[in-house]
Amino acid sequence: MCDNASNTKKAIEVLDELALGESSDAVVPNTVATEAVPVDDESLWEDMSEADLANVDAVLRGHHIERVSCFAHSIQLVVKEGLACIKSSTVLSKCSALATLVHHSPLFRSAYEEAFGSGRSVPATNATRWNSLLRQVEAVKRLDTKKLTALLQHTDHSNLTMSTSH
């Protein structure tokens, strides 16, 4: 199980070709499905004939390697793509800019902590976790709108003021 990266896909493809290439000349007899038995137990092979060993070896080498995409990773990619379509939204852009100010401007951070307390912040987003954007928006939503507007106007960031029309 892996993500959808092209290098991972290629690695699995190469491994599969190697496995199939090694067993392409082997004859695998018709087999009946049986209960799985661990094959790394050396005592299993002590009393086998050379023909049986060759058959077991052919079956083991003849297995197809299959890449299975991680479902959670695929969902993450779908949600990320959907969020990218709305990322240009004014509200989301303002939330992102506010988080950047809080984390990168010592002057703004000081004014922010004076207005809202030192224990509050606006979390930055993480490109690989879609819910980080949700947490960011929720954090901004929890802020007192009047205090936030006054802070943004006082620090010359009026362009980030949230209005009821957004």
pLDDT tens digits along 42-64: 666 677 788 887 877 777 666 66
Residue 40: per-residue pLDDT = 59
Position 67 scores a pLDDT of: 77
Task: Break the chain into its structural domains and give their ranges.
Answer: 6-61, 71-160
List of the chain residues with pLDDT < 50: 23-34, 37, 166
**Of 50, 58, 66, whose CA–CA distance to 30 is shortest?**
58
Contact 3, 68 (CB under 8 A): no
The phi and psi torsions of 67 (rounded to 5 degrees) equal -90, 130
Do 76 and 130 form a contact (C-beta atoms < 8 A)?
yes
CA angle 4, 7, 13 (to 5 degrees): 90
Q: What is the pLDDT of residues 17-38, one digit of tens each?
A: 766 655 444 444 444 444 554 5
Identify residue 76 by its one-letter amino acid code: Q
d(CA 48, CA 59): 15
Structure tokens given for 73: 């990773």
Token pair for 97: 């800019």
Where helices occur in the chain by DSSP H, the ranges are 6-23, 50-61, 71-86, 90-104, 106-116, 131-142, 145-154
User: What pLDDT was estimated at residue 60?
Assistant: 64
Q: What pLDDT is stored for residue 126 in this prediction?
A: 85
